[in-house]
Structures are given as structure tokens and as C-alpha cells.
Amino acid sequence: MPCDRRLWLTLALVLSAAATASPQEPVTSSEPLRTHTIEEHQEQSEQDKTRALLEVIRRRAKEALAKRRRARRWDFNTYTSWRVGYETNPRLSEDRNGGFFSDQYAGLTYSYRVLPQLTWQAGYGFDAMLYDEFTDLNTATNSLTTKLLYRIAKPFRIELHYTFDDVAGLRDNSISVVDQAVHLRLLQHLWHGWYQYAGWTYFDKQFKDRLALNGRGVKVNGMERKDTRDMVSQELGAPLGERAFVRLHQQWYRNWSNDVFRDYYDADDYQVRVHGRYEWTPRWASSAGFGYELKQYQERTVTSLGIAQRDDTTQYDLGLTYRISPEVDLAYTWRYRHNHSNDASQSYDDATNAVALNAAF
């Protein structure tokens, strides 16, 4: 019985201690609810960050698109070139006397997209051609151009150009002229960079201080000599791989002059030219070209032969260009021309070597 009494006493003490001890907090759903709230907060925060990022991307895309649209809407460019060289026969005569020259050019163009399919362009240029010895050939030229480019359909574009050149002879006013031309072209983009165009040009040359001759060879007071031309032209261009490009150009025109004495300047002229360019590296490029011109005079007669004069001119070109920067390049050019005429006094050879520094911004 003492053992039973001690057992019951021990059990009573244990139950009493359990009753007086601090009760444990029951496991309720509050902890899971608190955890779920944190997850929702984190998810909400991520959504806010995503929306903010998308808003930044959307705003920047709009700004970039607006910038591109402005760039397509209008554009402004400037050009400058300084060329020096030696020409073996600048007078294109039999004496073949050569001399050094310098040629400075500066120009600017402005382009404005009037409509998605219509662009207007305008430009101005100034060129000064100066010879060291043949100063009577020195000229200063002011040029104005304006163009309308209209995209008829995706591969076709029609172009209307007007050019005005005021050429002033700095020492000899008899070479001063005013040239005006209207060009109409239809351009077609073919495939993979290929293109072709066909065009018509009306050209007018008005001399400032050179009188026209009448049928008796007498100068007509108050009537400056004037030449006009109707010209048709065609060109085909094509890339050859990723580094080469070649183009073929040909044109024909008829020249009429108000100098009626023996119709000395009336002639039919045909020209064809092939030109190619190859980029060896991003900085180095070379070019080569060949041209042929046939000029058949209508009434100008070779006295010794009793037939109309005919000139056959061939031209060869070579060039090497080094790109200093995206805007500036240094170029060397060589050009050789040979004119063979059935009038021996009109035959000539001429070669030009020149180095040019060009910049476009």
C-alpha cells in the first residue's frame, strides 16, 4: 500500500504542476495568414517594378520613334573638298602643255519629307578651279539645285530636278556661262540592291560675253551665243557580293546652237561609261572606270577630207580612297583621256593626277 500511496502522490504532483504552468500558445492560423500577406506584398512589388520598367521602355521607344520620324522628316548635310593635282593638257590642245591646279568645293543640302511618299530637296554649292599657269581657265561656280522625289509605288520613284550653275571666268570673261537644266527620271529598285533609271534632260547654256555668228560669220550684236540640248539617259547599278558595286551609264544628246555659221557647234553625242568600286577593308577602297564618247558633228567639215568632223574619245579612271573617319576620307585619282578626231588638229591626250581631302557632315 505504501507504494500505491507514493504513486498516487507523484501523479497528483505532476497534474498540479501542469495546471499551474504557463499554457503554451495554441497553434492558430495567424502565422499562415501572416506568411501569405508577405508573399502578396512581394508579388505586388514585383508587378509595380514590371509596370514601371515597361513604362520606361514605352516612353523611350516613343522618344526614339519620334526622333527617327524627325530625322526622316528633315535632314541637313554639308560637304567640303580640297583637291590638288597636275594636268598634262588642260587646254585640250595639240601643244600638250601641263600645269598644277587646285580645286576647292563647299556645299550644303536640305531635305524635307513633305508627305510619306514625297520629299523635297534643295542645295547650294561653290567651286573654285584655279590653275597656276593657265590663269585664263580659272573659274568660280555658284550652283543651286532643287529636287522633288515622289514614290509612286514601292519599287518606283519619279524625280524632277532643276539645276542652275553660274560659271564666272576669273580672268577671261568669254568662258563665263549660265547653265540651266531640267531632269526627269524614273527610278526602279529591283532586287538585292540592284536599281535602274531612265531619264530625260533639257539643258540650256547661255554665254555671258560671247556673241553668236550669223551665216556669214559676222558677230550679231546683242545676241549672245546659246546652246540647248535634249538628252536621254539610262543607268543600271548592281552590288557584286558585299564589297563590290558596279554601274553602267549611257546617254545620248543633240546639241543645237544659235551660232549658225556653218552650224559649227551642232552635233549628236553618245556616251557610255562603266564604273566599279571595291572595299578591301572598312577603311580602304579602290575604283576603276572606262568611258567612251562618240561626237558626230552635223555640219562642221574637215576641210582636207570634205566630210563632217567626228571625234572618238576614250577615258580611263583609277582611284584609291582611305577613310580617316566616318565623315572624312583621303582620295587619289588618276584620269586619262584620248580624243581621236578625223580632224588631226582636234586630237589630244590629257592625264590628271590628283589628291583630294573630302568631308561630309
CB 96 within 8 A of CB 78: no
CATH architecture of 77-360: Beta Barrel (2.40)
Tens digits of pLDDT across the chain (361 residues): 444 555 455 545 444 544 444 444 444 444 444 445 555 556 666 777 777 787 788 778 777 766 765 566 889 999 999 999 999 999 998 777 899 999 999 999 999 999 989 999 999 999 999 999 999 999 999 999 999 999 998 899 999 999 999 999 999 999 999 999 999 999 999 988 999 999 999 999 999 988 888 777 788 888 889 999 999 999 999 999 999 999 999 999 999 999 887 678 899 999 999 999 999 999 999 999 999 999 999 988 888 888 999 999 999 999 999 999 999 999 999 999 999 999 988 899 999 999 999 999 9
3-state DSSP call for residue 52?
helix
DSSP string, 126-162: EEEEEESS-GGG-EEEEEEEEEEEEEEETTEEEEEEE
Distance, CA of 90 to CA of 204 (rounded, Å): 24
- Output the pLDDT for position 41: 58
Q: What is the pTM of this model?
A: 0.75
In Å, how far are 84, 90, 144, 254 from 330, measured between CA atoms?
A: 12, 24, 26, 37
* 156-169 vs 177-189, strand pairing mode: antiparallel
In the chain, where the domains are located:
77-360
Classify residue 93 by its DSSP letter: S
Cell triple for residue 170? 576669273
- Output the pLDDT for position 74: 86
Q: Which of 103, 104, 105, 102 is nearest to 79 (CA)?
A: 105
Q: Label residue 264 left, alpha or beta by phi (over 0 means left) and psi (-120 to 50 means alpha).
A: alpha
- Output the pLDDT for position 122: 97
Q: Which residue has the cell 509612286?
A: 152
